[in-house]
Amino acid sequence: MSAIFRFFGRHRKGVGVSRVPPLFSSLVISAVIVCSLFGDYLVPRDPTEMNLAVRLCPPVWIEGGSWDYPLGTDLLGRDILSRIIAGSKISIIVSFLAITLGALIGVMVTMIAAYFGGWLGNVLMRTADSLQPIPIIIIGLILSIVYSPSLLTVIFSMVFILWARYARSLYGEALALMQQDFVSMAKVEGCSAFRIMTRHLFPNLANTIFILATLMVGWAILVEASLSFLGAGIPPPAPSWGRMVSEGRENITQAWWLSTIPGAAILLTVLAFNLFGDWLRDRLDPKLRQI
Amino acid sequence: MSVLEVEDLHAHIYTQKGVVKAVDGISLKVNAGETLGLVGESGCGKSMTCLSIMRLLPRPNGQIVGGRIMLDDHDLVQMNEQQFRGIRGRLISMIPQDPYTSMNPCFTIGNQLMEPLRTHLGLRKSGLIERAKQLLDLVRIPEAISRLKNFPHELSGGMRQRVVGAIAVSCHPKLILADEPTTSLDVTIQAQYLYLIKQIQAEFGMAMIYVTHDLGIISKVCDRVAVMYAGKIIETAGIAEIFQQPAHPYTQALFSSIPPIDHDVDWLPSIEGQPPELINLPTGCRFFDRCRFAMERCQGKYPPEFQVGKKHFTSCWKYVL
Amino acid sequence: MNVGITLIEVSDLVKYYPLTKGVFRRVVGWVKAVDGISFTIPPGLTYALVGESGCGKTTTVKVLLQLEEATSGHIFWKGQNLFKLKADGRKNYREDVQAVFQDPMSSLNPRMRVKDIISEPLIANKRCSKGEAFSRAIELIVDVGLQREDANKYPHEFSGGQRQRIAVARAIALNPKLIVLDEPVSSLDMSIRAQIMNLLKKLQEQYGISYLLIAHDIGTVRYMSKYMAVMYLGKIVEKGLSSQVCSRPYHPYTQGLIISACPVRPGEKFGAPLPGEIPSPINPPSGCGFHTRCPFAIDCCSNTPPPWMELQPDHFVACHYYKEHGSIAADEIQEHLNVSLRGVITI
C-alpha cells in the first residue's frame, strides 16, 4: 500500500520529502515531453492518414483488435495511438507557451505593484482581482466566434486570465519580500528600482513561479482540451486530445475507446503534472504546503 | 524538599541530517519556593529541557530517549498521555517566550483564563468568573472585569505576558517553567514583570525554572543557576557563587564578554568560534576548541562533575586532580 | 557640543505618520514618531540612541537613511542642508551613509553569493569595474574575519554572527563616512556579541568611520559609544558623554532605565522603578511626555515642554525638576528610586 503511495508521491510521515520526483510523474511527464518533441518520428503511422476500411477498430486487448492499431482507430480509420502521440505536441506547446507568457506578464505586474505600491499597486492588483471570476471558456468561445479559432485565440484567452492568477498568487510573497531588510539595504546602497526588482525580488520569487507553473500546466491542458472539445480550439486537422474526446461522443456506446483513450491521456498527464508540482512545492518551499 | 528531580535526561530530535542530541544527560533538582536559572545560548538545549519536562517536544521527530523526571512522586517519563494531561497545567505549567503567539487571538482573555480552571479544577459559571477576576488582580491588571472581555490583540505585550502568567498560575501549580518570557519586552516593563513573578512565587511557594541568557535577569530572579552548553549542564551554583567565582571556563568567558554598565572597559574579551553542532558532538569536553585552558585530556573523555565549592559543581578537567 | 567639525547635525527633526480612516483616507490623527530631536555626530566617533519601544529611534534611522521623508526639521551633512540638496547631492550622501540592520537573517539576499552581496554597492553605484569590485569584496571579507573561500558561499551557510560580519563588510564597501548600526548585536548570542562589537571598533579605528548606534542594551552602548542620547516618546530627554550618562544619570527616566537594566548584587532586593505602561505615540501626554510615570512630576510638567539644561560639561537633561532644584536633584531622584527598590513601592 505504501509502495503505491510512494509511486504517486505521497511521502511517509516523518521521513520528509523524497529527493526524486514521484515515479508516476517522472514516467508520464517524460513520455509526454518526448512525444511532443519527437512525435513526428515516433508515430507508427501518419496521424492524418485515413483508411475507411479499418474504421472503428477496437484496441488490441479487445476482441477484434490488432497490433496494427494498438489503441484502435477512429471514425475515419485514423490510428488512435498515433493521434495521441501527435496530440501531445498540441497540449504541451499550447500550455507551455501560455504559461510562459502569462508568467512573464504576471510577474512584471506583481513586482511593479509591490515595489511602487500606492495607487499604482492598487490599480494593478484590483485589475488582477477583477479578472479572476471570468470563466476562461467563455473568453475562448467569444474569441473563436469573433476571430476564427486558432492557436492565437487559445493562447490569448489563457494568458488573459493566467497573468492575473500569477499576480494574485505572487503578490503576498512579493510584499513580504519588500519588508525584508535586504531590500531596504539595497535602497540604502543606491540600487535602482530595476536592479532591486531583477536582482532582489525576482530570484526570491523564482521558486514560487516555477511551482505555480507546474501546477498550472495541468489546468492549461484541460482548458485547451475543453476549448477543443467545444470546437473553439486549434482547428483540424491538427490532432488535439480534447477534440478527439468530442468527436468520439456520438459513438460512445459502440466505440467507447474513441473518447475514453484520449480522455485517459488527458487525465494521466494532468495528474502527473499536478503531482510533480506538489512534490516540487514540498521540496522547495515547505511553507506552501497544504496538508 | 525537592519538587522536581531530573536524572540523566536524554532527548533527541530526528532530522533528515541526523540525530540532534538536544538534551544529552541532564540532571537537576528544584525545591519548593526556589528558582533555578537555566542559562545558555541558543542551541544549548535549555528550551528543549523545558519542553521535555512538559512532554511537549515537537512531534513526531522529538523524543525523550532516557532518564527520569520525578515531580513529587510522579514519574513523568513513564506516564501515559492521558495521565499526563491531568498534570500538565495543573501541577506543572509553562510561560512561553512570545507574548504575541502564546494566546489564541480568536478567544477572549476571560475564556482563555477560565479554560484551565474548567478543565483541572472543575469550576463552573460564577465561580469561574470570580476566580478569573482574582487572577487578573493578582497580576495587577487594572479593571479586571472589563478586561475579561478583551481579546489578546487589544493588550500590550507586557499585559499579555501578565495574562499568560495568570493562566500559568491559575491552578496553583507546583512548578512553573518560564522560557525567556521577557525577551520581547522593554527593559522597564521587564523589571515590572520580574518583580511580579517573584511576588507571586513567594506567595504560592512554587518552584520555578527560569530559562534565560540575560545575566541581569538571573541576578534578579534566580536562587541557583545551571549553565548549559551543547546539551549538557556544565556548571551549577548558587547565585552568589556563579557571579563571584564562576568555575567553568565557558561561564567565566561568558560573564566577562558582557559589557558592564557601571564602568568603562577598553577591550571586551570575546569567545572565538561557535558552539558545536548538536548532530556531530565531540567525544571529550564540548568546549574544548574554544577554551583557553584546554589540555590534552579534555579532548579524550567528557569530564565528570566535580565539586568546587559549597553546592557548586562543574564539569571541567581543570578541577579534577 | 564642543567638537570642531561635525559630520552630521540633526536639528529639530520631526516625523509624524498620518492615521487615516475611511475610503477617502481622511486624516484622523498623527503618530508622533519623532517629535523634535537634535544631536550632532562628530567624525570618527560613535553616537548612540537609546530607548524603549515607541521612542522613535527606528524612525530616526529611516529618515537619516532617506527611507522616509521627514515632516520637518533639518539634517546638515558636512555643513549642507540635506533636504535642500538636488539628486546628485543626495546620491553622494547616500554613498557616504550606510547601514547594518538588526536581523542577520533578513538583511542578506538568500539568493546572492557573499561576494555579490558585498560588491553590489560598488557595482550599483558604478564606482569601479566588476572585477575590481569583486577583489575589493574579497579584501573586505578577510577584513571582517572570514575566509577568502567564503566569498562563493550563500548566506544560509553561515551562522548569525558570521552573517552580521558580511553585513558589516557590505556597509564598508563604499567607504562611507557614517554607518548607522540598528541594534547590530541584539539578535546574536551573548558570546558572539563581543566578537562583533570588537570588530566594529577595530574597523572604526582603521577607517575613521562614525557610527550612529541604536541599541536598547545600556552595556553595549557604554562600551561602543562616546556619546549617547536617551529617547522617550519621540523626544530626547538626556544626552551627553556615555560614561557620564551611564554612571551619573540625571533624568528620572534614564535613572529608571539604568536601574532596571543593571544586574542586582546578591542579597540586594530589586524592584520596578518605573511603574505604568509606555504611552502610545498617537496621543502622547502633553508637556513632558514622561510626566504620567514620573514620581517627581510638578505642575508645569503637564503643560510645558521641559527646557534643556547643561548640568555637567557636555551633559544635558530636559527636566523641569532640575530647573527647580538644580543638579542635587539627581541624588534625590536616585534615593527615591532606590528606596522604591526595597520593596516599599508597589507597581
* pLDDT tens digits, one per residue of A52-75: 888 888 888 888 888 888 888 888
Do C22 and C111 fall into the same domain? yes
ipTM of model: 0.85
- C64 and C177 belong to one structural domain: yes
Residue C238 forms part of a structural domain: no
- Tell me, yes or no, whether C52 and C17 share the same domain: yes
CA distance C107 to chain A (A): 4
Listed residue (B100, B15, B87) closest to B56, CA to CA: B87
C-alpha cell at B272: 572565538
Cross-strand pairs, B74: B71
Query: Are B92 and B100 contacting, i.e. CB atoms less than 8 angstroms apart?
Result: no
**C85 and C192 housed in the same domain:** yes
State the pTM of this model: 0.85
Domain presence at residue C307: yes
Cα B199 to Cα B138: distance, rounded to the nearest angstrom: 10
pLDDT per position in chain B (321 positions), as tens? 789 999 999 999 988 888 889 999 999 999 999 999 999 888 888 989 999 998 888 888 888 998 999 998 888 888 888 888 888 888 999 998 888 888 898 999 888 988 888 888 887 888 888 888 888 888 888 888 888 888 988 888 888 889 999 999 988 899 999 999 988 888 888 888 888 888 899 889 999 999 988 888 888 889 999 999 999 999 999 998 998 899 999 999 988 888 988 888 888 888 888 888 888 888 888 898 888 888 888 888 889 889 998 889 999 988 886
Q: Is pLDDT above 80 for A285?
A: no
**Of C231, C265, C285, at which residue does a domain stop?**
C231
Q: Is residue C240 part of a domain?
A: no
Is the same domain home to C172 and C319?
no
> Is C242 part of a structural domain of the chain?
no
C186 and C311, same structural domain? no
Strand-pair partners of B211: B38, B179
- How many CB contacts within 8 angstroms connect chain A with chain B? 5
Q: For chain B, how far is it from start to end, CA to CA, in angstroms?
A: 32
Whether B140 sits inside 8 A of C347 (CB atoms) is yes
**Could you give the CA distance from residue C91 to residue B106 in angstroms, rounded to a whole number?**
48
Q: Which residues of C touch B140 (CB under 8 A)?
A: 347
pLDDT of res. A16: 61
Q: Are C7 and C42 in contact (CB under 8 A)?
A: yes
User: Choosing among C95, C103, C120, which should be mutated to test the A contact, i.e. which has the most A CBs within 10 A?
Assistant: C120
Residues B191, C271: C-beta atoms closer than 8 Å = yes
Examine the domain organization and report whether C283 and C209 are in the same domain: no
**C239 CB-near residues (< 8 Å, 6+ apart):** C39, C227, C228, C229, C230, C245, C315, C316
Compute the nearest-CA separation of C50 from chain A (Å).
21
The answer to whether residues C204 and C336 belong to one domain is: no
**Would you state the pLDDT for residue C346?**
29
The pLDDT score that the predictor gives to residue A18 is: 73
Q: Which domain holds residue C295?
A: 248-344
Q: Is C2 exposed, middle or buried (0-12, 13-18, 19+ CB in 10 A)?
A: exposed
Is the same domain home to C124 and C187?
A: yes
Establish if C2 belongs to a structural domain: no
Best B16, B57, B63 member to test A by mutation, with max A CBs in 10 Å, is B16
- Chain mean pLDDT for chain A: 85
Q: Residue B58's closest chain A neighbor by CA?
A: A14
C113 and C219 co-located in one domain = yes
From A122's Cα to the closest Cα of chain C, the distance in A is: 13
Does residue B174 sit in helix, strand or coil? coil
- Tell me which residues of chain C have a C-beta less than 8 Å from any C-beta of chain B: 52-53, 159, 161, 189-195, 197-198, 216, 218-220, 222-224, 243, 246-247, 256-267, 270-275, 277-278, 347
Range of lowest pLDDT (A9-23, A138-152, C10-24, C213-227) = A9-23
Q: Residues near A225 by Cβ (< 8 Å), separated by ≥ 6?
A: A91, A233, A240, A241, A242, A245, A266
Cell readout for B32 is 519548593
When pLDDT is averaged across residues C202-206 and rounded to a whole number, the result is 94
In this predicted model, what pLDDT tens digit does every residue of A161-178 receive, in sequence order?
999 999 999 999 999 999
Question: Which chain A residue is nearest to residue C95, measuring alpha carbons?
Answer: A189
> In terms of domains, do C164 and C37 share one?
yes
Q: Among B158, B196, B259, whose Cβ lies nearest the Cβ of C219?
A: B259
Q: Where are the domains of chain A?
A: 2-288
Q: Based on the domain organization, do C226 and C261 belong to the same domain?
A: no
Rounded CA separation A178/A121 (Å) = 13
> Is position C243 within any domain?
no
Interface with chain B: mutation pick from C199, C223, C246, C341, highest number of B CBs within 10 Å? C223
Q: Are C278 and C52 in contact (CB under 8 A)?
A: yes
Boundary (domain end) residue, out of C172, C200, C231: C231
Give residue B263's pLDDT.
86
- Total beta-carbon pairs less than 8 A apart between chain B and chain C: 123
**CATH fold group of domain A2-288:** MetI-like fold (1.10.3720)
Q: Is the Cβ pair C191, B270 closer than 8 Å?
A: yes
Indicate whether C292 belongs to any domain. yes
HSE-up of residue A258 (Cα within 13 Å, Cβ side): 21
**Is C3 a member of any domain?**
no
For residue range C136-165, list pLDDT tens digits in order.
999 999 999 999 999 999 998 898 899 999
Helix (H, G, I), strand (E, B) or coil at C326: helix
Residue B193: closest CA among chain C residues belongs to which residue?
Answer: C272
CB contact under 8 A, B188 and C273: yes
pLDDT, mean over chain C: 88
